[in-house]
Structure 1
Amino acid sequence: MFLNLHSHNQTDYFTLRNIILSQDNELFISSEQDGIFSVGIHPWFIDENDYQSQKNVLTEWCAKPSVIAVGESGLDRLRGPDLETQKTVFVDHIELAEKLSKPLILHCVKCYSEIMGIMNELKPKIPFIFHGFNNNEQIADQLLAHDCYFSLGKALSFPDSNASKLLRRIDLDRLFLESDYSELPIEEIYKLAADQRNISTDKLKEVIFANWKKVGLLPSDKVYEK
Protein backbone atom coordinates (compact mmCIF):
# COMPACT_ATOMS: atom_id res chain seq x y z
CA MET A 1 0.00 0.00 0.00
CA PHE A 2 1.08 3.55 -0.71
CA LEU A 3 -0.01 5.19 2.54
CA ASN A 4 -0.57 8.91 2.06
CA LEU A 5 -0.27 10.91 5.29
CA HIS A 6 -1.84 14.17 4.12
CA SER A 7 -4.01 15.05 1.17
CA HIS A 8 -6.79 17.48 0.35
CA ASN A 9 -7.53 15.75 -2.95
CA GLN A 10 -7.37 11.96 -2.91
CA THR A 11 -10.16 10.00 -1.26
CA ASP A 12 -9.08 6.35 -1.43
CA TYR A 13 -9.14 4.53 1.90
CA PHE A 14 -5.44 4.63 2.67
CA THR A 15 -5.14 8.33 2.12
CA LEU A 16 -5.46 10.31 5.33
CA ARG A 17 -7.67 13.02 3.93
CA ASN A 18 -7.38 16.37 5.68
CA ILE A 19 -10.60 18.27 6.32
CA ILE A 20 -10.17 21.94 7.15
CA LEU A 21 -12.86 23.58 9.23
CA SER A 22 -13.73 26.68 7.24
CA GLN A 23 -15.09 29.78 8.90
CA ASP A 24 -18.60 29.05 7.65
CA ASN A 25 -18.28 25.31 8.52
CA GLU A 26 -19.74 24.30 5.12
CA LEU A 27 -16.68 22.44 3.81
CA PHE A 28 -16.29 20.71 7.14
CA ILE A 29 -19.88 19.59 7.54
CA SER A 30 -20.30 18.38 3.93
CA SER A 31 -17.13 16.28 3.85
CA GLU A 32 -17.96 13.13 5.82
CA GLN A 33 -17.61 10.06 3.62
CA ASP A 34 -15.98 6.63 3.62
CA GLY A 35 -12.29 6.68 4.44
CA ILE A 36 -9.96 7.98 7.11
CA PHE A 37 -9.54 11.62 8.02
CA SER A 38 -7.70 14.24 9.98
CA VAL A 39 -9.75 17.24 11.04
CA GLY A 40 -8.54 20.61 12.24
CA ILE A 41 -8.90 24.36 12.28
CA HIS A 42 -6.11 25.60 10.03
CA PRO A 43 -4.58 28.83 11.39
CA TRP A 44 -5.63 30.65 8.20
CA PHE A 45 -9.30 29.92 8.87
CA ILE A 46 -9.69 30.70 12.55
CA ASP A 47 -12.94 32.61 13.07
CA GLU A 48 -11.99 35.25 15.62
CA ASN A 49 -15.64 36.32 15.94
CA ASP A 50 -17.03 32.88 16.73
CA TYR A 51 -14.17 30.51 17.48
CA GLN A 52 -16.20 28.74 20.15
CA SER A 53 -18.59 27.43 17.49
CA GLN A 54 -15.65 26.15 15.47
CA LYS A 55 -14.20 24.51 18.55
CA ASN A 56 -17.50 22.80 19.35
CA VAL A 57 -17.76 21.31 15.85
CA LEU A 58 -14.08 20.31 15.91
CA THR A 59 -14.56 18.48 19.20
CA GLU A 60 -17.62 16.64 17.90
CA TRP A 61 -15.98 15.54 14.68
CA CYS A 62 -12.63 14.50 16.13
CA ALA A 63 -14.42 11.99 18.36
CA LYS A 64 -15.61 10.07 15.27
CA PRO A 65 -13.82 6.72 14.66
CA SER A 66 -13.05 7.66 11.04
CA VAL A 67 -11.13 10.73 12.25
CA ILE A 68 -7.83 9.13 13.23
CA ALA A 69 -5.75 12.31 13.63
CA VAL A 70 -6.29 15.90 14.76
CA GLY A 71 -5.19 18.76 12.51
CA GLU A 72 -3.84 20.20 10.54
CA SER A 73 -3.24 22.82 13.18
CA GLY A 74 -0.34 25.04 14.10
CA LEU A 75 1.12 28.51 13.74
CA ASP A 76 1.73 30.72 10.72
CA ARG A 77 3.65 33.97 11.04
CA LEU A 78 2.73 35.12 7.52
CA ARG A 79 -1.02 34.57 7.40
CA GLY A 80 -3.97 34.31 9.77
CA PRO A 81 -4.89 36.17 12.97
CA ASP A 82 -2.31 37.35 15.50
CA LEU A 83 -0.01 34.71 16.95
CA GLU A 84 -1.55 34.85 20.43
CA THR A 85 -4.92 33.90 18.95
CA GLN A 86 -3.30 31.16 16.89
CA LYS A 87 -1.51 29.84 19.99
CA THR A 88 -4.81 29.57 21.87
CA VAL A 89 -6.34 27.53 19.06
CA PHE A 90 -3.22 25.41 18.70
CA VAL A 91 -3.18 24.56 22.41
CA ASP A 92 -6.84 23.55 22.16
CA HIS A 93 -5.89 21.12 19.36
CA ILE A 94 -3.09 19.66 21.46
CA GLU A 95 -5.39 19.15 24.44
CA LEU A 96 -8.06 17.56 22.26
CA ALA A 97 -5.52 15.22 20.63
CA GLU A 98 -4.22 14.26 24.07
CA LYS A 99 -7.74 13.57 25.34
CA LEU A 100 -8.54 11.37 22.34
CA SER A 101 -5.05 9.81 22.09
CA LYS A 102 -4.83 10.72 18.41
CA PRO A 103 -1.74 12.05 16.56
CA LEU A 104 -1.52 15.75 15.72
CA ILE A 105 -0.77 16.92 12.15
CA LEU A 106 1.06 20.25 12.19
CA HIS A 107 1.25 23.26 9.90
CA CYS A 108 4.14 25.60 10.71
CA VAL A 109 5.44 28.71 8.93
CA LYS A 110 8.33 30.53 10.62
CA CYS A 111 7.08 29.57 14.10
CA TYR A 112 9.12 26.52 15.04
CA SER A 113 10.58 28.12 18.17
CA GLU A 114 7.08 29.02 19.36
CA ILE A 115 5.79 25.49 18.76
CA MET A 116 8.74 23.96 20.58
CA GLY A 117 8.17 26.37 23.45
CA ILE A 118 4.56 25.18 23.73
CA MET A 119 5.74 21.58 23.61
CA ASN A 120 8.21 22.25 26.42
CA GLU A 121 5.44 23.79 28.49
CA LEU A 122 2.69 21.24 27.87
CA LYS A 123 4.86 18.13 27.40
CA PRO A 124 2.34 16.36 25.14
CA LYS A 125 2.53 12.59 24.82
CA ILE A 126 0.76 12.22 21.47
CA PRO A 127 2.86 12.11 18.27
CA PHE A 128 3.53 15.43 16.53
CA ILE A 129 3.81 15.07 12.73
CA PHE A 130 5.01 18.11 10.76
CA HIS A 131 3.41 17.84 7.35
CA GLY A 132 5.07 19.17 4.20
CA PHE A 133 8.32 19.72 6.09
CA ASN A 134 10.97 21.52 4.05
CA ASN A 135 13.06 23.38 6.59
CA ASN A 136 16.74 23.46 7.47
CA GLU A 137 18.90 20.93 9.27
CA GLN A 138 19.06 22.88 12.52
CA ILE A 139 15.27 23.06 12.87
CA ALA A 140 14.97 19.38 11.94
CA ASP A 141 17.46 18.36 14.63
CA GLN A 142 15.63 20.41 17.26
CA LEU A 143 12.34 18.73 16.34
CA LEU A 144 13.96 15.30 16.39
CA ALA A 145 15.11 16.06 19.93
CA HIS A 146 11.40 16.54 20.75
CA ASP A 147 10.58 13.11 19.22
CA CYS A 148 8.68 14.67 16.31
CA TYR A 149 7.92 13.06 12.96
CA PHE A 150 8.17 14.48 9.43
CA SER A 151 5.88 14.06 6.45
CA LEU A 152 7.61 14.87 3.15
CA GLY A 153 6.05 15.44 -0.23
CA LYS A 154 6.49 17.27 -3.50
CA ALA A 155 9.71 18.98 -2.35
CA LEU A 156 11.43 15.60 -2.79
CA SER A 157 11.26 16.21 -6.55
CA PHE A 158 14.03 18.77 -5.99
CA PRO A 159 17.18 16.87 -4.87
CA ASP A 160 18.73 19.99 -3.29
CA SER A 161 15.65 20.83 -1.22
CA ASN A 162 15.76 20.76 2.56
CA ALA A 163 13.25 17.91 2.45
CA SER A 164 15.58 15.79 0.32
CA LYS A 165 18.56 16.61 2.54
CA LEU A 166 16.54 15.60 5.61
CA LEU A 167 15.38 12.37 3.98
CA ARG A 168 18.95 11.30 3.30
CA ARG A 169 20.01 11.65 6.94
CA ILE A 170 17.13 10.84 9.31
CA ASP A 171 16.13 7.46 10.67
CA LEU A 172 13.29 6.17 8.53
CA ASP A 173 11.18 5.46 11.61
CA ARG A 174 10.53 9.25 11.73
CA LEU A 175 9.24 9.43 8.16
CA PHE A 176 5.86 9.75 6.47
CA LEU A 177 5.05 10.66 2.87
CA GLU A 178 2.23 12.79 1.50
CA SER A 179 0.80 14.40 -1.62
CA ASP A 180 -0.95 17.39 0.03
CA TYR A 181 -2.40 19.59 -2.76
CA SER A 182 0.13 18.37 -5.32
CA GLU A 183 -0.94 16.62 -8.51
CA LEU A 184 2.17 14.44 -8.13
CA PRO A 185 0.87 10.90 -7.42
CA ILE A 186 1.79 9.43 -4.07
CA GLU A 187 3.36 6.48 -5.91
CA GLU A 188 5.83 8.87 -7.54
CA ILE A 189 6.66 10.47 -4.19
CA TYR A 190 7.46 7.01 -2.81
CA LYS A 191 9.72 6.33 -5.81
CA LEU A 192 11.57 9.63 -5.30
CA ALA A 193 12.07 8.87 -1.61
CA ALA A 194 13.19 5.29 -2.24
CA ASP A 195 15.70 6.36 -4.87
CA GLN A 196 17.13 9.05 -2.60
CA ARG A 197 17.56 6.54 0.25
CA ASN A 198 18.84 3.85 -2.12
CA ILE A 199 16.26 1.30 -1.01
CA SER A 200 13.47 -0.45 -2.87
CA THR A 201 10.00 1.02 -3.02
CA ASP A 202 8.64 -2.16 -1.44
CA LYS A 203 11.01 -1.79 1.52
CA LEU A 204 10.00 1.84 1.95
CA LYS A 205 6.33 0.87 1.91
CA GLU A 206 7.01 -1.60 4.73
CA VAL A 207 8.77 1.10 6.77
CA ILE A 208 5.97 3.63 6.28
CA PHE A 209 3.36 0.99 7.15
CA ALA A 210 5.20 0.29 10.42
CA ASN A 211 5.35 4.02 11.19
CA TRP A 212 1.61 4.44 10.64
CA LYS A 213 0.97 1.51 12.94
CA LYS A 214 3.38 2.79 15.60
CA VAL A 215 1.69 6.19 15.96
CA GLY A 216 -1.84 4.75 15.88
CA LEU A 217 -2.95 5.76 12.40
CA LEU A 218 -4.15 2.32 11.30
CA PRO A 219 -7.57 1.34 12.65
CA SER A 220 -7.19 -1.87 14.63
CA ASP A 221 -10.37 -3.45 13.26
CA LYS A 222 -9.10 -3.58 9.67
CA VAL A 223 -7.13 -6.26 7.84
CA TYR A 224 -4.25 -4.88 5.80
CA GLU A 225 -2.22 -6.20 2.90
CA LYS A 226 1.27 -4.72 2.98
Structure 2
Amino acid sequence: MANTAPYALIDSHCHLDLSAFAHDFNAVVASAKSLGVTRFHIPGTTAKRWQPLTHLAARDDIDVSLGLHPYFLSEQPKSQLERSLDELDTQLDKHLPGVVAVGECGLDTVIDVDLQLQETIFARQLDLAKQHRYPLVLHARKSHHLIHQHLSAQRFAHGGVIHAFSGSVDVAKQYVDRNFVLGIGGTITYPRGYRTREAVKAVGLAHVVLETDSPDMPINGYQGQRNTPERLPLVMHTLAELFDIEPAEVARVTSANYLRLFH
Protein backbone atom coordinates (compact mmCIF):
# COMPACT_ATOMS: atom_id res chain seq x y z
CA MET A 1 0.00 0.00 0.00
CA ALA A 2 1.39 3.39 -0.98
CA ASN A 3 2.23 6.17 1.43
CA THR A 4 -0.66 8.62 1.29
CA ALA A 5 0.77 10.92 3.97
CA PRO A 6 2.74 14.13 3.26
CA TYR A 7 5.76 12.83 5.19
CA ALA A 8 8.01 9.77 5.49
CA LEU A 9 8.51 8.37 8.99
CA ILE A 10 10.88 5.66 10.24
CA ASP A 11 10.00 3.41 13.16
CA SER A 12 13.44 2.95 14.69
CA HIS A 13 12.38 0.19 17.10
CA CYS A 14 9.53 -2.27 16.51
CA HIS A 15 9.48 -6.00 17.28
CA LEU A 16 7.57 -7.09 14.21
CA ASP A 17 9.24 -10.50 14.31
CA LEU A 18 7.40 -11.52 17.49
CA SER A 19 4.42 -13.86 17.65
CA ALA A 20 2.07 -10.90 18.16
CA PHE A 21 2.47 -10.18 14.43
CA ALA A 22 2.78 -13.73 13.11
CA HIS A 23 -0.74 -13.77 11.66
CA ASP A 24 -0.84 -10.32 10.06
CA PHE A 25 2.72 -9.06 9.56
CA ASN A 26 2.15 -7.94 5.96
CA ALA A 27 -1.13 -6.21 6.80
CA VAL A 28 0.50 -4.34 9.71
CA VAL A 29 3.33 -3.12 7.49
CA ALA A 30 0.93 -2.10 4.70
CA SER A 31 -1.31 -0.20 7.12
CA ALA A 32 1.66 1.67 8.58
CA LYS A 33 2.92 2.56 5.12
CA SER A 34 -0.46 4.00 4.15
CA LEU A 35 -0.07 6.37 7.13
CA GLY A 36 3.45 7.48 6.19
CA VAL A 37 5.71 4.99 7.99
CA THR A 38 8.11 3.94 5.26
CA ARG A 39 10.90 2.08 7.08
CA PHE A 40 11.07 -0.29 10.06
CA HIS A 41 13.95 -1.30 12.33
CA ILE A 42 13.52 -4.65 14.09
CA PRO A 43 16.00 -5.24 16.95
CA GLY A 44 17.21 -8.67 17.99
CA THR A 45 16.40 -10.13 21.40
CA THR A 46 17.65 -13.74 21.40
CA ALA A 47 20.07 -15.71 19.23
CA LYS A 48 17.33 -17.96 17.85
CA ARG A 49 15.73 -14.93 16.22
CA TRP A 50 18.83 -13.74 14.35
CA GLN A 51 18.39 -15.95 11.30
CA PRO A 52 14.74 -14.88 10.68
CA LEU A 53 15.86 -11.28 11.16
CA THR A 54 18.62 -11.52 8.57
CA HIS A 55 16.03 -12.85 6.12
CA LEU A 56 13.78 -9.87 6.83
CA ALA A 57 16.76 -7.55 6.37
CA ALA A 58 16.87 -8.53 2.71
CA ARG A 59 13.79 -6.34 2.22
CA ASP A 60 14.47 -2.74 1.20
CA ASP A 61 12.07 -1.36 3.84
CA ILE A 62 13.43 -3.22 6.89
CA ASP A 63 16.63 -2.87 8.91
CA VAL A 64 17.57 -5.17 11.78
CA SER A 65 20.00 -5.32 14.66
CA LEU A 66 21.42 -8.46 16.23
CA GLY A 67 21.90 -8.77 19.96
CA LEU A 68 21.01 -10.40 23.28
CA HIS A 69 18.37 -8.59 25.34
CA PRO A 70 19.02 -8.66 29.10
CA TYR A 71 15.48 -9.94 29.77
CA PHE A 72 16.22 -13.37 28.33
CA LEU A 73 19.75 -14.05 29.57
CA SER A 74 18.69 -16.29 32.45
CA GLU A 75 16.83 -18.64 30.10
CA GLN A 76 20.11 -20.23 28.93
CA PRO A 77 23.25 -21.56 30.62
CA LYS A 78 26.27 -19.31 30.40
CA SER A 79 28.00 -21.75 28.05
CA GLN A 80 25.18 -21.31 25.53
CA LEU A 81 25.37 -17.53 25.89
CA GLU A 82 29.09 -17.71 25.11
CA ARG A 83 28.35 -19.72 21.96
CA SER A 84 25.71 -17.15 21.01
CA LEU A 85 28.27 -14.35 21.38
CA ASP A 86 30.67 -16.26 19.16
CA GLU A 87 27.88 -16.59 16.59
CA LEU A 88 27.18 -12.86 16.88
CA ASP A 89 30.84 -12.21 16.09
CA THR A 90 30.50 -14.39 12.99
CA GLN A 91 27.31 -12.69 11.85
CA LEU A 92 28.68 -9.18 12.32
CA ASP A 93 31.82 -10.07 10.41
CA LYS A 94 29.64 -10.76 7.34
CA HIS A 95 28.37 -7.15 7.30
CA LEU A 96 25.09 -8.31 5.76
CA PRO A 97 22.94 -5.68 4.01
CA GLY A 98 20.20 -4.48 6.31
CA VAL A 99 22.01 -5.48 9.51
CA VAL A 100 22.78 -2.04 10.88
CA ALA A 101 23.45 -2.30 14.63
CA VAL A 102 24.18 -4.46 17.66
CA GLY A 103 21.19 -4.77 19.95
CA GLU A 104 18.87 -4.75 21.64
CA CYS A 105 21.43 -5.01 24.40
CA GLY A 106 22.02 -3.22 27.65
CA LEU A 107 21.42 -3.33 31.39
CA ASP A 108 18.25 -3.46 33.49
CA THR A 109 18.47 -3.31 37.30
CA VAL A 110 14.73 -3.86 37.74
CA ILE A 111 14.38 -7.36 36.28
CA ASP A 112 15.21 -10.60 38.10
CA VAL A 113 18.33 -11.38 36.07
CA ASP A 114 21.73 -11.45 37.74
CA LEU A 115 23.32 -8.04 37.17
CA GLN A 116 26.85 -9.42 36.98
CA LEU A 117 25.73 -11.74 34.18
CA GLN A 118 24.04 -8.82 32.42
CA GLU A 119 27.21 -6.74 32.63
CA THR A 120 29.39 -9.57 31.35
CA ILE A 121 27.18 -10.17 28.30
CA PHE A 122 26.72 -6.45 27.65
CA ALA A 123 30.46 -5.80 27.80
CA ARG A 124 31.09 -8.51 25.22
CA GLN A 125 28.41 -7.13 22.88
CA LEU A 126 29.87 -3.67 23.29
CA ASP A 127 33.29 -5.03 22.39
CA LEU A 128 31.91 -6.75 19.28
CA ALA A 129 30.12 -3.58 18.17
CA LYS A 130 33.38 -1.69 18.56
CA GLN A 131 35.39 -4.32 16.67
CA HIS A 132 32.97 -4.45 13.75
CA ARG A 133 32.17 -0.71 13.84
CA TYR A 134 28.43 -0.96 14.47
CA PRO A 135 26.27 1.45 16.47
CA LEU A 136 24.24 0.14 19.41
CA VAL A 137 20.55 -0.20 20.21
CA LEU A 138 20.62 0.20 23.98
CA HIS A 139 18.14 -0.94 26.61
CA ALA A 140 18.77 1.04 29.80
CA ARG A 141 16.43 0.89 32.78
CA LYS A 142 17.66 2.42 36.03
CA SER A 143 21.16 1.66 34.77
CA HIS A 144 22.38 4.78 32.98
CA HIS A 145 25.37 5.16 35.31
CA LEU A 146 26.47 1.59 34.62
CA ILE A 147 25.95 1.99 30.87
CA HIS A 148 28.19 5.04 30.87
CA GLN A 149 30.86 3.20 32.85
CA HIS A 150 30.99 0.50 30.17
CA LEU A 151 30.96 2.98 27.30
CA SER A 152 33.82 4.87 28.91
CA ALA A 153 35.81 1.73 29.73
CA GLN A 154 35.70 0.62 26.09
CA ARG A 155 35.98 4.13 24.66
CA PHE A 156 33.04 3.32 22.46
CA ALA A 157 32.69 5.89 19.68
CA HIS A 158 30.16 4.48 17.20
CA GLY A 159 27.01 5.93 18.77
CA GLY A 160 23.58 4.39 18.68
CA VAL A 161 20.07 4.76 20.04
CA ILE A 162 18.96 4.88 23.66
CA HIS A 163 15.75 2.92 23.23
CA ALA A 164 12.61 4.19 25.00
CA PHE A 165 14.43 7.10 26.59
CA SER A 166 12.70 8.48 29.68
CA GLY A 167 15.52 10.09 31.65
CA SER A 168 16.40 13.56 32.83
CA VAL A 169 17.90 16.47 30.89
CA ASP A 170 21.35 15.70 32.33
CA VAL A 171 21.16 12.02 31.34
CA ALA A 172 19.98 12.95 27.83
CA LYS A 173 22.88 15.36 27.37
CA GLN A 174 25.39 12.74 28.51
CA TYR A 175 24.21 10.38 25.76
CA VAL A 176 24.15 13.11 23.14
CA ASP A 177 27.75 13.96 24.07
CA ARG A 178 28.60 10.35 23.19
CA ASN A 179 26.91 10.69 19.77
CA PHE A 180 23.82 8.72 20.76
CA VAL A 181 20.30 9.71 19.79
CA LEU A 182 17.21 9.32 21.95
CA GLY A 183 14.56 6.81 20.90
CA ILE A 184 11.25 8.53 21.63
CA GLY A 185 7.91 6.74 21.62
CA GLY A 186 4.72 6.37 23.62
CA THR A 187 6.10 7.81 26.87
CA ILE A 188 5.90 11.41 25.69
CA THR A 189 2.22 11.04 24.75
CA TYR A 190 1.20 10.68 28.41
CA PRO A 191 0.71 13.59 30.82
CA ARG A 192 3.24 11.94 33.16
CA GLY A 193 5.88 12.10 30.43
CA TYR A 194 6.76 15.72 31.20
CA ARG A 195 10.32 14.87 32.27
CA THR A 196 11.01 13.12 28.96
CA ARG A 197 9.48 16.00 27.01
CA GLU A 198 11.71 18.41 28.95
CA ALA A 199 14.80 16.34 28.09
CA VAL A 200 13.87 16.14 24.41
CA LYS A 201 13.29 19.87 24.27
CA ALA A 202 16.66 20.49 25.91
CA VAL A 203 18.75 18.41 23.49
CA GLY A 204 16.75 19.31 20.39
CA LEU A 205 15.12 17.38 17.58
CA ALA A 206 18.51 16.82 15.90
CA HIS A 207 19.20 14.12 18.52
CA VAL A 208 15.90 12.22 18.34
CA VAL A 209 14.52 9.24 16.42
CA LEU A 210 10.96 7.93 16.60
CA GLU A 211 9.89 4.48 17.76
CA THR A 212 6.86 2.48 18.81
CA ASP A 213 8.45 -0.59 20.47
CA SER A 214 5.54 -2.53 18.97
CA PRO A 215 3.78 -4.55 20.27
CA ASP A 216 4.66 -2.88 23.61
CA MET A 217 4.91 0.71 24.93
CA PRO A 218 1.32 1.71 24.05
CA ILE A 219 0.42 5.22 22.95
CA ASN A 220 -1.78 7.25 25.31
CA GLY A 221 -5.39 6.38 24.60
CA TYR A 222 -4.55 2.89 23.34
CA GLN A 223 -3.64 1.22 26.62
CA GLY A 224 -4.32 -2.50 26.68
CA GLN A 225 -4.12 -2.81 22.90
CA ARG A 226 -1.37 -4.22 20.74
CA ASN A 227 0.88 -1.36 19.67
CA THR A 228 1.78 -1.14 15.97
CA PRO A 229 3.93 1.12 13.76
CA GLU A 230 0.81 2.75 12.33
CA ARG A 231 0.62 4.73 15.60
CA LEU A 232 4.00 6.35 15.03
CA PRO A 233 2.36 9.51 13.57
CA LEU A 234 0.86 10.14 17.03
CA VAL A 235 4.38 10.41 18.45
CA MET A 236 5.30 12.71 15.57
CA HIS A 237 2.36 15.01 16.31
CA THR A 238 3.25 15.14 20.02
CA LEU A 239 6.77 16.26 19.13
CA ALA A 240 5.43 18.79 16.64
CA GLU A 241 3.38 20.35 19.43
CA LEU A 242 6.36 20.27 21.79
CA PHE A 243 8.62 22.13 19.35
CA ASP A 244 5.81 24.20 17.79
CA ILE A 245 6.70 23.09 14.27
CA GLU A 246 4.92 21.31 11.44
CA PRO A 247 4.62 17.50 11.76
CA ALA A 248 6.32 17.08 8.39
CA GLU A 249 9.41 18.81 9.82
CA VAL A 250 9.52 16.31 12.69
CA ALA A 251 9.36 13.50 10.14
CA ARG A 252 12.09 15.04 8.00
CA VAL A 253 14.54 15.63 10.85
CA THR A 254 14.02 12.38 12.74
CA SER A 255 14.21 10.28 9.58
CA ALA A 256 17.41 12.08 8.58
CA ASN A 257 18.82 11.36 12.06
CA TYR A 258 18.05 7.68 11.64
CA LEU A 259 19.58 7.43 8.18
CA ARG A 260 22.69 9.31 9.26
CA LEU A 261 23.23 6.86 12.14
CA PHE A 262 22.41 3.58 10.43
CA HIS A 263 23.15 4.19 6.75
Q: TM-score with structure 2 length normalisation?
A: 0.74
Mapping of residues 95-110 of structure 1, within 5 Å: 95-110=127-142
What is aligned with 2:63?
36
Instruction: Go from structure 1 to structure 2 and tell me whether the alpha carbon gap of 1:214 and 1:83 turns closer, same or farther (over 3 Å shift).
Output: same
Contact 1:39 1:58 in 2 (8 A): yes
Match of 2:13 among 2, 6, 10: 6
What is the identity percentage for the equivalent residue pairs of Structure 1 and Structure 2? 21
Q: State how far apart, in whole Å, the 1-side matches of 2:235 and 2:10 are.
A: 11
Q: Does 1:70 align with 2:102?
A: yes
| Structure-1 separation of matches of 2:192 and 2:81 | 40
Instruction: Name the structure with the higher helix share.
Output: 2
Quick one: distance in 1 between partners of 2:192 and 2:202?
13
Moved more, 163-172 or 115-124: 163-172
Structure 1's 141 and 51: CA in aligned 2 closer, same or farther, altered over 3 A? same
Q: Distance in 1 between matches of 2:52 and 2:204?
A: 39
Unaligned runs of 5+ in 2: 1-7, 17-27, 219-226
- Larger deviation, residues 143-152 vs 192-201: 143-152
For 1:59, the equivalent position in structure 2 comes to 89
Contact 1:74 1:90 in 2 (8 A): yes
Unaligned stretches of 5+ residues in structure 1? 219-226
Q: CA deviation at 1:126?
A: 0.4
Identify the residue that residue 209 of structure 1 maps to in structure 2. Answer: 255
Count of residues in correspondence between the two structures? 214
Contact residue 6 and residue 17 of structure 1 kept, 8 A: yes
| Residue 109 to residue 102, structure 1, CA distance change in 2 (3 Å) | same
Deviation at 1:101, TM superposition (A): 2.0
Return the offset for 1:80. 4.9
Q: Does 1:154 align with 2:186?
A: yes
Residue number in structure 2 paired with 1:48: 77
Q: Is the 8 A contact 1:43 1:80 kept in 2?
A: no
Q: 1:190 aligns with which of 236, 249, 259?
A: 236
User: Quick check: 1:104–1:127 contact (8 Å CA) kept in 2?
Assistant: yes
Match of 1:224 in 2: none
1:160 Cα shift? 4.0
Given that 2:127 and 2:154 are in contact with CA atoms closer than 8 Å, whether structure 1 keeps it comes out as no
Computed over aligned residues only, the root mean square deviation of the Cα atoms, in angstroms, reads 2.1
1:83-118 deviation digits (Å, cap 9, x = unpaired): 222112112221222222221010011111111111
